[in-house]
Structure 1
Amino acid sequence: MTDDSGAAGQPRVTDGDEPLRRAVQRIADEILFPASADVDRTGSIPASHWTAIADAGLFGIAAPTTVGGPGLGFAQVVDTIEVMASGCLATAFTWMQHHGVVISLAGTDNVTLRDRLLADTVTGRVRAGVAYAGVVPTPPRMRAHRIDGGWRLSGHAPFVSGWGIVDVLQISARDDETDDVVAAIVPARDQPGIAAVTPLPLIAADASATVAMEVDDLVVDDAQVVSRVSLDDFFATQNIGVRLNGTLPLGLVRRCAALLDRGGHAHAGRTLRERASAIRTRLDAGIADADALLDARAEGARLAVEAAATLVAADGGRALIAGSDAERLARQATFTLVAASRPQLKDLLVERFSTGDAGVTPPGGDTGGVGGR
């Protein structure tokens, strides 16, 4: 994955990218979205979704060509995830976390681990999830203690998606002596040390199989460690994650706009796309500025709520029927207000919704005292 974006923050699609982009749109429109009501109702993602995604090479979109990836720029990766989110939020939310593990494996100094897992994660033969939220707060919820030849991990991972879907899990913890962030990849099934797993019934994207996980003396040897970085270096990379998570609400806006077009409200659909484009540009520009990035991320989440409300109003009474597209998208928009969030982002949204603030921060301005970590 390279740093590559087009004019005005829009993805630059080259001739080589176009077949993949068409495949992504086809999967979103012809496979994911037609099944999204059933996925929402049953709380289960069909195996055929994962097969279609693997066959299109979409498990490896963040991988460089040297390890079998398509060599997409960052802008193309962002665009791909956003289109997938427009098809099925639960599928996209589960699948997008796989890419963090691919990136970790592609860049690790642990050659043995990379050789053992990278090729299979790029193809999707091995599906991966992450549990890193335990290292974000201070004090951390997940701790690592150095032992002979490895580490002992203990703590709480509050929000782990893909349980029962993924094959391996990258767990991050803070070294209790140095505060370094240690990340290890472990089997996601029958793993000694994963003491308890509590399913979390979600109002949307419940098919992501999200759980709270308790870890008690999980022993990992050095051969399983994919990275060890300082806490400052860990947080320095978090803007990339915030930008990727910003694809989820904008994917919902794409779908709402398409449904408004189909229902005879093309002007409303066009207006929502224009607003989304402006937010997308701000998200791209904010990669190096955590405050600006969180500001744009908040606006994206709010726009998703407003787009879903527009669709509800346009659909009228049928939007009140459980299982309708508008009803489901309204719940999913609510999900994006909180999922993959940060305390600062929540504060921004509370302020925006309570005051009606448009949330446009002038150049050089602040965000109401809200920090960016």
Structure 2
Amino acid sequence: MSDIVARARVLADDVLFPQAGAVDDAGAVPSVTLDTLAREGLYGLTGPASHGGLAADPATVHAVAEAMAGGDLSTAFIWLQHLTVPAMVTGSPLADEWLADLCAGRRRSGIALLAATRPQPVAITARREGDTFVLDGGVPWVTGWEHVDVVLVAARDDDDVVHFLLVDAEEGPTLTAVPQQLVAVQASSTVEFRVSGHVVPASRLVRSVPLAAWQARDPGNLRANGSLALGLAARCARLAELPQLDADLAAVRARLDAAGPDQLPDARAAAAALAHRAAGLLAVAVGSGSVSAGHPAERLAREAHFLLVFGSRPAIKAALLHRLGGVG
């Protein structure tokens, strides 16, 4: 899998980073950029080879995500959400219909999974009515709205079973998407997603999992988001010409890779804190230019701020407060 990692690094250096400032100014990732990722096979990174995917191991997924984040975080953010869906669809009743298109990037996806990770209140509820599910509720963050065909929605029923459904990304009387105004990655097309009496065919059910079973494995799913912080920190280190940060990057990366579920929150906090520190060092190295709107150091500082809270959990927040300010 070293070939796909090498290709991702070239793509990040030659395409994504040179246009990142323009993407940030425009507030939109060009569709042609995502088409390029699809042609490179990156949409199929987590999909099975039987359906055109790359069946990448976790280390490869993390290395590619790190490279992409070091190119343009908005683009990486949209693309990374998609990777959950081929992995979830694999082995499901929807595999034959959906997997080949998902792996090729002909169908692109976002995720709305808060109902699977937050105990109360339930973000999105589901009730079964014959051959349909009826969904009510909403989540504050669904990324890539203008670039996705479907959203993998987690919805919970009265028995605390989580149903994962593929919902068409189309607004209407029962589904709305309100753009979020963010200090960074505004180009990621992140929206507040709401449904009210929204009917989804039961044929779109990917799988159903008891809430307790899903939450028991959730801490083990935190590793990939740490790669975003590592990628940003590595870009800052290169721009600031501070190779001494390489040892810190290697140490945090190794810690993330070795961490079990109980250690992952603190390892994630270490990655976010490193990105925050690296962005600060870049600002100091650049000097007064770093506070000029549109300078890469200014954008990367905003993105490092974003990564302090993105994909967080209470344990990550507590660890970051301790690391950054000695709180707790």
TM-score for the superposition, normalised by structure 1: 0.85
Matching residue's letter, 1:147: E
Matching residue's letter, 1:92: A
Query: Matches of 2:31 and 2:146 in 1, distance apart?
Result: 12
Query: Matches of 1:30 and 1:302 in 2, distance apart?
Result: 27
- Tell me the residue number matched to 2:282: 311
- Tell me the residue number matched to 2:155: 173
The answer to whether 1:148 aligns with 2:148 is no
Query: Higher mean Cα deviation, 227-236 or 312-321?
Result: 227-236
The answer to whether 1:103 aligns with 2:87 is yes
The answer to whether 1:347 aligns with 2:327 is no
Deviation at 1:251, TM superposition (A): 0.7
Query: Matches of 2:151 and 2:55 in 1, distance apart?
Result: 24
Matching residue's letter, 2:249: A
Question: What stretches of structure 1 of length at least 5 have no aligned partner?
Answer: 1-16, 262-267, 358-367, 369-373
Query: Matches of 1:99 and 1:135 in 2, distance apart?
Result: 17
Matching residue's letter, 1:326: A
- Tell me the residue number matched to 2:205: 225
The answer to whether 1:182 aligns with 2:163 is yes
Does the 8 A contact of 2:146 with 2:189 survive in 1?
yes
Matching residue's letter, 2:317: K
Does the 8 A contact of 2:154 with 2:164 survive in 1?
yes
Matching residue's letter, 2:42: L
The answer to whether 1:289 aligns with 2:261 is yes
Query: Matches of 1:310 and 1:216 in 2, distance apart?
Result: 47
Query: Matches of 1:100 and 1:306 in 2, distance apart?
Result: 29
Query: Matches of 2:215 and 2:305 in 1, distance apart?
Result: 26
Deviation at 1:131, TM superposition (A): 0.5
Matching residue's letter, 1:75: A
Query: Matches of 1:135 and 1:72 in 2, distance apart?
Result: 25
Question: What stretches of structure 2 of length at least 5 have no aligned partner?
Answer: none
Does the 8 A contact of 2:139 with 2:193 survive in 1?
yes
Matching residue's letter, 1:163: W
Does the 8 A contact of 1:181 with 1:231 survive in 2?
yes
- Tell me the residue number matched to 1:205: 185
The answer to whether 1:301 aligns with 2:281 is no
1:315–1:22 CA distance, 2 compared to 1 (3 A): same
Matching residue's letter, 2:204: Q
Deviation at 1:344, TM superposition (A): 2.2
Does the 8 A contact of 2:135 with 2:195 survive in 1?
yes
1:141–1:190 CA distance, 2 compared to 1 (3 A): closer
Give me the identity figure in percent.
Answer: 38
Deviation at 1:301, TM superposition (A): 0.4
Provide the alpha-carbon RMSD of the alignment: 1.5
TM-score for the superposition, normalised by structure 2: 0.96
Tell me the secondary structure at the aligned position of residue 70 of structure 2: helix
What pairs with 1:20-39 in structure 2 (closer than 5 Å)?
A: 20-39=4-23
Match of 2:222 among 242, 245, 268: 242
Does the 8 A contact of 2:220 with 2:264 survive in 1?
no
Query: Matches of 1:255 and 1:220 in 2, distance apart?
Result: 42
- Tell me the residue number matched to 1:255: 235
1:328–1:235 CA distance, 2 compared to 1 (3 A): same
Query: Higher mean Cα deviation, 229-238 or 328-337?
Result: 229-238
- Tell me the residue number matched to 1:91: 75
The answer to whether 1:214 aligns with 2:187 is no
Query: Matches of 1:350 and 1:234 in 2, distance apart?
Result: 27
Query: Matches of 1:28 and 1:77 in 2, distance apart?
Result: 15
Deviation at 1:184, TM superposition (A): 0.2
Tell me the secondary structure at the aligned position of residue 245 of structure 2: helix
Aligned positions, number: 327
Tell me the secondary structure at the aligned position of residue 323 of structure 1: coil
Does the 8 A contact of 2:74 with 2:185 survive in 1?
yes
The answer to whether 1:40 aligns with 2:24 is yes
Tell me the secondary structure at the aligned position of residue 307 of structure 2: helix
Deviation at 1:71, TM superposition (A): 2.6
Query: Matches of 1:122 and 1:192 in 2, distance apart?
Result: 31
Match of 1:331 among 296, 302, 319: 302
Matching residue's letter, 1:229: V
Does the 8 A contact of 1:155 with 1:216 survive in 2?
yes
Query: Matches of 2:219 and 2:172 in 1, distance apart?
Result: 31
Deviation at 1:122, TM superposition (A): 0.1
Deviation at 1:240, TM superposition (A): 4.0
Per-residue deviation, residues 83-116 of structure 1 (Å, max 9, x unmatched): 00100000001100101011111131x1xx2222
- Tell me the residue number matched to 1:63: 47
Tell me the secondary structure at the aligned position of residue 222 of structure 2: helix
Does the 8 A contact of 1:134 with 1:156 survive in 2?
no
Query: Matches of 1:240 and 1:102 in 2, distance apart?
Result: 18
Per-residue deviation, residues 299-332 of structure 1 (Å, max 9, x unmatched): 1101100000000000001111111011110000
Deviation at 1:192, TM superposition (A): 5.3
Query: Matches of 1:85 and 1:107 in 2, distance apart?
Result: 29
Matching residue's letter, 2:151: L
Query: Matches of 2:21 and 2:227 in 1, distance apart?
Result: 21
Matching residue's letter, 1:214: R
